[in-house]
Each structure stands twice: as structure tokens, then as C-alpha cells.
Structure 1
Amino acid sequence: MNILLTGGAGYIGSHTAVTLTEAGHQIVIFDNFCNSDKSVLDRLERILKKRLPLIDGDVRNTALIAQTLEKFQIDTVIHFAGLKAVGESVDRPIEYYANNVQGTISLLEAMSLVNVKSLVFSSSATVYGDPQYLPIDEEHPTSATNAYGRSKLHIEEMLKDVANSDREWKIICLRYFNPVGAHESGLIGEDPNGIPNNLVPYIAQVAIGNLEKLSVYGGDYPTLDGTGVRDYIHVMDLAEGHLAALNYLSTNPGWIAVNLGAGKGISVLEVLNEYEKASAKSIRYSIEKRRAGDIASCFAKVDKAKKILGWQTKRNVHDMCASGWLWQQYRKNLP
């Protein structure tokens, strides 16, 4: 199958490119590198022993997308491209709607023009807003508490309308929980710009010596050790979830949303302890006051993914931390 990955040079996109290529699919990467670096193509080549085709462009360029779909005879699109920092989205909502919502409209227009009607969309558990119950299943009410989450929710609703308008469309929205870790080679991994927003990349920066300590916001939650609990999923498990989604789409028209998570929660201190074991480093941290809006626990119900995709996670928190540390050691020597 010929597959276009928008945002395919990014964190999740690059790992998915490895999984799909190894499964025998032909991958084309489309990226403008606003959240990634072109050197990832060289490192993907080292892993895969082949060079993946690249189109350097913005997903809002409808004509370029349509041209790419035709040139490479694309069968299916996996749409990763988009801005993704929750805090940043609050300060720059117009930019988030322009990139995420407008970008998806442009992609859909191009796909319609050349009659490519199979799409996997990179969604997020942020579409559930503040959890009303746990674990969160796909029937949980959707809402949004920031521009990033609202952009994902808008896109999901648009895609549902598109699928309802034409029975030829096959669309699956994959609602990610918290991807962490790296490819086992250590050659690709999460590479955030500036100070990381997420827990594990921040821990990694403390372990490698770039940041002084980790601030743990809240030590008095009603959890096992008082710190917040989240559902962390190894990025390679997540990549394999996309392969399972493609297999499902091949015979199932319409629109569907599916959670991709581990189905269990891990606390901040549990992650910290595992990272210390993986890195053989002592990681400084301090317990600070809770942040406004933070919740005690959030984790997925993943029965639907197992039932309809035949997918479940294989890797544990130690694997996430060990692979992430391997990547950090490689990354510190990159130019």
C-alpha cells in the first residue's frame, strides 16, 4: 500500500514510518519541519536501509498535497501534521486553528480532488476534557479545555461529517494518551524544542544534565503515592496501532474513534523511579503545589482497540524509559 504521512518526520510520524515500512508498505513523508528536523530522514535511512521519499511542504498547500497524492499513487493518508503544545495553544489559538483545522480542510480538499478516501487521523485524549469517569472509554462525553484540544475535536467532527456525506470514505480517529520512549536503535525519539512540556522528556533533560531538577506539581492527590497518574504508551506500540488501524480501514468504511493507550495509569514518581533505573542517574525533584486545572488520574479503557483492531500494548514503563534514555545519549551528540 502507498501511504502518505503528513508530519511524518515528527516524533510519532517517524516511528510509524519505521513500522509501516517494515510491514512492507511504501511510505512518503510530507512535512514542513516546523516541529521536526530534516536529519531524521538520514536516521530513518540508517534504520530502514533505504531512503524514504520526502515532500517538503505545508499541509495547507492544497495543490501540493493533491500533486503528491497523484504522483505517488497514494492509497491512504495518515494525518499527523499539526501543532501540539497545550500551553502554547492557549497563547496562540489562531495559529493552532490555522495549522490544525485549516490544514486538515486543505488535506481533505486535496484528497477529494484525486479520489483518495482513506484516512487515519492523529487525534488525542484531550478531546475528552476533564474526565467524568475512569477508565475513559470512547463513549465518554467530549469537550475541550484549550485551543489544542478544541482543534482536535473540531477535526474529529469534520471527519465524521465527511464520512456521513459519502459512503466511500473510510476514516479512523486514533485518540492517543501519553506517548513516550523511542525506537530500540536509539536513533530516533522525541526531540522537543526548548524546555519540554511533558513529563518524560523533562525527566530526560534532568538526567542528561541540561536541567537542574524536576518540579512535581502535586504530592497530595488521592493516588498511591500522592502524585498524578497518567496513561503512558510506548511510541512503538503506538506506531503498531497505526498499522492495525490501516488493516481495519481496508474493509470498514465510515467513521470511528478508538483509544490508543496502555489502559492503566502510572504515577509521576513511578516514572521517575523507572527512569533512574534505566539511566543509572539520580534525578533531583521537588514537590510543588498543584497546578490549577490538573487532575489526579487519567487513563484509557482500551477494550475497543483490542476487539476491533486486534491491538494492545506490548511494552512496559521500563521499556519506555530505557529506550528513551538510549535516544537521549545519542541525541546529545547531534549537531
Structure 2
Amino acid sequence: MAKILVTGGAGYIGSHTCVELLNAGHEVIVLDNLCNSSSESLSRVEKLTQKSLTFVEGDIRDSQLLDQVFQQNSIDAVIHFAGLKAVGESQQIPLAYFDNNIAGSISLVQAMQRAQVFKLVFSSSATVYGENNPSPYQEDMPLNMPNNNYGYTKLVVEQMLEKAAIADERWSIALLRYFNPVGAHKSGQIGEDPQGIPNNLMPFVTQVAVGLREKLSIFGHDYDTADGTCERDFIHVVDLAKAHVLAIQNRLNHQGCRAWNIGTGQPISVLTLKDTFEKVNQIQIPFEFAARRAGDLASFYADNARAVKELGWTPEYGLEDMLADSWKWQKQNPKGYGS
């Protein structure tokens, strides 16, 4: 089994991935600056798995700290989640995003190189396909400029990692392009805990359900889709976490840089998600239709055949699981990790 450094491991996807890594027998070291996460998530990861992990509070831009972490632990591979991720905010403070996400990734990769650790799984995004590719997205489509600065940082880091792997064949890098992660651990102990007003649909829905928000706004109802609302590829966070464990296994045995889509391949409309949430959880979600948001695409979803074939990964959970688990987490933790 391997010793894995997980940057941003206290966050939503990071904490669920730590559970799956520990369950698979790996040793886990988490590096997180807690700028938009809580160390409480890691305490709960340890309780859920009955295993311990090592937590280092710190920033991936701190080269001295990174060197120390690599010197003190014989790390085999890195999963890199650390970064800012709010699309709207990325438009307002682009330099903070470039510094955290791009400069931070360079700092991490340089430290890995100094420590002679060349196995990396990078948390990327389907936004790298841009606006012009038709769904379902396939990994060999030409990438396009995303319409927001968050997506831009993912594209830049992907390209940077690809070039690094071409220049030095010791690198073995997985680029995991996520679609729309939702849901929570079955226990309801860990889940998505956004700070302030949620940027993503699912926590907004659950916060309306729990009474923290008045109503859900559905942006646009005149799209060229079955019911006029946007369609997205929602993926259960536990399925997504398991993909990282499989990607680590794959990269320990291969060289080069390879991208995989991590989505279900099933487009689901925003209205369907709301209606199904109400049905599964027996709770009403007050909502209103609002104007379209700039940059929202009518429909995007994955072709996941490559991940299924090469990683041996198959999503296990359907929409009803995602919505039941999201609600269980929110109900048990009305104020997230702060409650």
C-alpha cells in the first residue's frame, strides 16, 4: 500500500477521498490551510474509518513547509485538491485564483520534483472543454478557453502538467475532469460545507430545505432542453472519491499524463433534481425561475467510457442516492461542521 499526500484533504471531495484511501489500506497525510474547510472533517474521517491520518496545517505555496513534509514522510504519490473553487468569486478576484491555483500548483510540483516523487492525481474540471464542444464530452476533444477564471486555472495547470510529463518521463500524472459532484457520505458525518452563500446547486437546495435560505432560484427556463432548465451531469461524491483511489493505482503502474472524465454520462435537469429531491426526502423546496446566468451552458455531460475501461471505475450511486445522502448530511449538520 502507498503513502499518499492529499493537498486540500479537509475539503468536500478531499475528505471523502481520504475515507476511500484509508479504507483501501493506504496511509494518508493531509496538507490543508483550512481557508475554506474545517479540520473537524478529518476527525470525522478518522472516526468513520477507525484509522488515523496525519494532518499538517499549511499552504502549498510554502516551499519550506512542503520540503519538510516530503523529507519527514516517504511519500509515494500526491492527490492535489488544494485551490479556490468559487466560479463567481474567481471573476471578482482573479489574481487570488491565479496565485492559489496556478502558482500553488507550480510550488507543489517543484517540491515533488525536489523530493523525487513523480506520481500525481490532479483535481481538474469539465470546464476545460470550454463552450464550443458538444456533449457528451470526450477526453480527446480540443480544450477551449473556459468562460471563467476558475476554469482557466484548471486549464493552465493541466497544460503545465502535460508539458512537464513530456519534458521528464519520470512523471506519471492523472487529470481527473469532474462534472458536478453532489451527495455526502452515507453516514451523514461528512459532506459539503460551503462558507457563506453556496455557489453550487445542491447545498443551496439543502439549505432551503433546512430553512437557512428562503427559496431556490432556477436560472433560466427557456433552454433547449427537455424542460427548459439547464442539464448537468451530477456525480455522487463517493463515486468520485473512489475514482481517485483507482487513478492512484493506475499511476503507480504507468508513465505519462492521462485525462479521465469522472461523470455518470446522464444529463439531469435542474428542475428534475429539485422535483426528485422533494419526492425522495418528502419535503417541499420553494423556488422561482430567475433570468439566465451569463456563461451557463444549456447542457453538459460526460462520456465516461475511458474511465470505465482504463480505471475499472463505474459509478454505483444514482440520483436518488445523491439526494437522500445530501439531505441526511444537511439535516444532521444544519450549520455544517460549525454545528
TM-score (structure 1 length as normaliser): 0.98
Alignment TM-score, normalising by the size of structure 2: 0.97
Residue equivalent to 2:63: 62
| AA of the residue aligned to 2:187 | S
Deviations 1:117-176 (A, max 9, x none): 100000001111114211111122212211111111110111011111111110011000
**Could you tell me which residue of structure 1 aligns to residue 101 of structure 2?**
100
- Would the aligned equivalents of 1:41 and 1:51 in 2 still touch at CA under 8 Å? no
User: Where does structure 1 lack aligned partners over 5 or more consecutive residues?
Assistant: none
Corresponding residue number in structure 2 for 1:135: 136
Q: Is the 8 A contact 1:131 1:298 kept in 2?
A: no
- Distance in 2 (CA, whole Å) between partners of 1:43 and 1:4 is 18
Match of 1:230 in 2: 232
Q: Which amino acid aligns with 1:235?
A: V
In 2, Cα distance between the equivalents of 1:174 and 1:292? 26
Whether the aligned pair in 1 keeps the contact of 2:5 and 2:30 (CA below 8 Å) is yes
1:66-122 Cα offsets, whole Å, 9 max, x none, are 211221210000000000011100100000000001101110111111100100000
Please tell me whether the aligned partners of residues 6 and 78 of structure 1 are also in contact (alpha carbons under 8 angstroms).
yes
2:290 equivalent in structure 1: 288
Whole-angstrom CA distance in 1 between matches of 2:294 and 2:9: 34
- In the alignment, which residue of structure 2 is the partner of 1:193? 195
Contact 2:220 2:290 in 1 (8 A): yes
Which 5+ residue runs of structure 2 have no aligned equivalent? none
> What residue is the counterpart of 1:260 in the other structure?
262
Work out the CA distance in 2 between the residues paired with 1:27 and 1:83.
22
Find the aligned partners of 1:152 and 1:70 in 2 and give their Cα distance.
28
1:164-195 Cα shifts (integer Å, max 9, x gaps): 11111100110000000000110000000111
| SS of corresponding position for 1:315 | coil
Q: Give 1:5's aligned residue.
A: 6
Q: How far apart in 2 are the matches of 1:275 and 1:69?
A: 44
Tell me, in whole angstroms, the C-alpha distance in 2 between the residues paired with 1:310 and 1:45: 27
Contact 1:278 1:325 in 2 (8 A): no
Distance in 2 between residues matched to 1:14 and 1:68, nearest whole Å:
19
Question: How much does 1:330 deviate?
Answer: 1.6
Say if 2:147 and 2:295, in contact at 8 Å, map to a contact too: no
Tell me, what secondary structure is at the counterpart of 1:104?
A: helix
How far apart are 1:63 and its partner, in Å? 1.8
Provide the rounded CA distance (Å) in 2 between the counterparts of 1:281 and 1:222.
29
Query: Is the contact between residue 22 and residue 51 of structure 2 (CA under 8 Å) also seen in structure 1?
Result: no
Aligned equivalents of 1:46 and 1:25: distance in 2? 16
Q: Which runs of 4+ in 1 moved over 4 A?
A: none
SS for the counterpart of 1:292 is coil
The answer to whether the aligner puts 1:218 opposite 2:227 as a matched pair is: no
How far residue 224 of structure 1 moved from its aligned partner, in angstroms, is: 1.5
Identity of aligned residues (%): 49
